[in-house]
Amino acid sequence: MRLRLFVIGGRRRGLLVILQKRGIDSKRFQRYFRVIGNTNLSFGGINVTDFAHRWQSGFPKIGIRPTIDGRRKGVRESLEAQTMNMAQSVAKLLSETLRYPNGEPVECVISDTCIGGVAEAAASADKFAKAGVGVSLTVTPCWCYGTETMDMDPSIPKAVWGFNGTERPGAVYLAAVLSGYAQKGLPAFGIYGEQVQDAGDTTVPEDVREKIIGFARAGLAVAIMRGKSYLSMGSVSMGIAGSIVNDQLFQEYLGMRTEYVDMSEFVRRMDEGIYDPAEFEKALAWVKENCAEGPDNNPPHLQMSRERKDKDWETVVQMTQIARDLMIGNPRLAELGFEEEANGHHAIVSGFQGQRAWTDHFPNGDFHEAILNSSFDWNGIRSPYIVATENDSLNGIVMLFGYLLTNTAQIFADVRTFWSPDSVERVTGHKLSGAAAGGILHLINSGPAALDGTGEQQQDGKPAMKPFWEISADEAQRCLDATSWRPASVEYFRGGGYSSDYLTRGGMPMTMSRLNLVKGIGPVLQIAEGYSVDLPPEVHDTLDRRTDPTWPTTWFAPTVTGKGAFRSVYGVMDNWGANHGSISFGHIGADLITLASILRIPVSMHNVAEERVFRPRAWGLFGTDNAESADFRACTNFGPLYK
Binding site membership: which residues? 390, 414, 580
Q: What DSSP state is assigned to residue 305? A: P
- Directed axis angle between helix 537-544 and helix 421-428, to 10°? 100
Backbone angles phi, psi at 415, to 5 degrees: -90, 85
Neighbours of 87 (CB within 10 A): 22
Q: Which of 50, 69, 390, 529 is catalytic?
A: 390
Neighbours of 376 (CB within 10 A): 27
Q: What DSSP state is assigned to residue 106? A: P
Non-local (6+) Cβ contacts of 154 within 8 A are 185, 186
Q: What is the DSSP string of 510-549?
A: EEEEEEEEETTTEEEEEEEEEEE----HHHHHHHHTTS-T
Total residues belonging to the chain: 643
Q: Which of 50, 414, 529, 544 is catalytic?
A: 414
CA–CA separation, 316 and 339 (whole Å): 24
The separation between CA 265 and the C-alpha centre of its own chain, rounded to angstroms, equals 27
3-state secondary structure 138-195: EEECCCCCHHHHCCCCCCCCEEEEECCECCCCHHHHHHHHHHHHHHHCCCCEEECCCC
> Strand runs (DSSP E) across 313-409, as ranges?
347-352, 376-377, 380-381, 387-389
Q: What is the DSSP string of 563-592?
A: SGGGGSHHHHHHH--SSEEEEEES--HHHH
CA–CA separation, 627 and 606 (whole Å): 12
Pairing relationship of beta strands 603-605 and 522-532 according to DSSP bridges:
parallel
Amino acid at 404: L
Assess whether 425 carries a catalytic annotation: no
Assess whether 390 carries a catalytic annotation: yes
From the number of C-beta atoms within 10 Å of its C-beta (0-12, 13-18, 19+), residue 74 rates as exposed
Non-local (6+) Cβ contacts of 37 within 8 A are 1, 2, 3
CA–CA separation, 589 and 513 (whole Å): 8
Residue 592 vs residues 63, 77, 601, 615, 621: alpha-carbon distances, Å: 22, 41, 10, 11, 21
Helix, strand or coil for residue 282? helix
CB 376 within 8 A of CB 382: yes
List residues forming the annotated binding site for Mn(2+).
390, 414, 580
Closest CA to 120 of 92, 151, 160, 156: 151
Catalytic residues: 390, 414
